[in-house]
């Protein structure tokens, strides 16, 4: 599996930290699709589209990690591409009322077989981002019939809309 990275200026510094972490410490093949230098005037669709195109072409063997200020716009761009299932992560919610809630990174993989992780660089520390990436890369899709059925329905919607 190859992990493709893309970011605009807001996530540039965090991407520069995550690329060697994923390659050297976690042992994945990595391709950095940009930005390759800090440019405060860049536009996130320009750097996210190449990642989404690559994941869309082979969603079972490619994954993407995209970054921006909040990660929201980046995920919107990525989700325009067929077979891309991008999720946003800005930090694990911890309710103040003592409820035990599942970890959304795990659910995004186990239930939705997400293949693009969109990180909000303005919300996460380097350590939080590293932990999220590690957890996302290491959590497998459950393969449960109900999740497969739901993903097929999403695929059918995409096929219907983009004929």
Q: Which residues of 61-97 are buried (b: 16+ CB within 10 A; e: fewer)?
A: ebbbbbbbbbbebbbebbbbbebbbbbbbbeeeeeee
The one catalytic residue among 16, 104, 106, 111: 111
- Based on the residue annotation, tell me whether 36 is a catalytic residue of this protein: no
- Based on the residue annotation, tell me whether 74 is a catalytic residue of this protein: yes
What are the contacts of 51-58 at 24+ separation with CB within 8 A?
A: 51/4, 51/5, 51/6, 51/78, 51/116, 52/77, 52/78, 52/80, 52/81, 52/84, 52/86, 52/116, 53/81, 54/4, 55/4, 55/81, 55/83, 55/84, 55/115, 55/116, 56/81, 56/82, 56/83, 56/84
What's the CA dihedral at 34, 61, 76, 132 to 10 degrees? Answer: -80
By annotation, the residues acting in catalysis are 74, 111
């Amino acid at each position: 599996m190859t992990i493709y990275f893309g970011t605009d200026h807001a996530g540039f510094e965090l991407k520069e930290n995550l690329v060697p972490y994923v390659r050297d410490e976690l042992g994945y093949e990595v391709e950095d699709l940009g930005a390759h230098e800090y440019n405060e005037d860049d536009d996130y669709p320009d750097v996210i589209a190449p990642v989404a195109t690559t994941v869309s072409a082979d969603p079972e063997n490619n994954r993407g990690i995209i970054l921006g200020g909040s990660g929201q716009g980046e995920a919107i761009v990525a989700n325009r591409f067929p077979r891309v299932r991008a999720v946003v992560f800005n930090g694990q919610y911890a309710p103040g009322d003592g409820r035990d809630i599942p970890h959304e990174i795990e659910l995004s993989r186990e239930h939705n077989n997400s293949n693009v992780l969109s990180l909000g660089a303005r919300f996460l520390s380097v350590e939080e981002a590293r932990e999220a990436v590690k957890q996302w890369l290491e959590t497998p899709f459950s393969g449960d019939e109900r999740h497969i059925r739901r993903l097929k329905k999403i695929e059918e919607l995409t096929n219907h809309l983009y004929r």
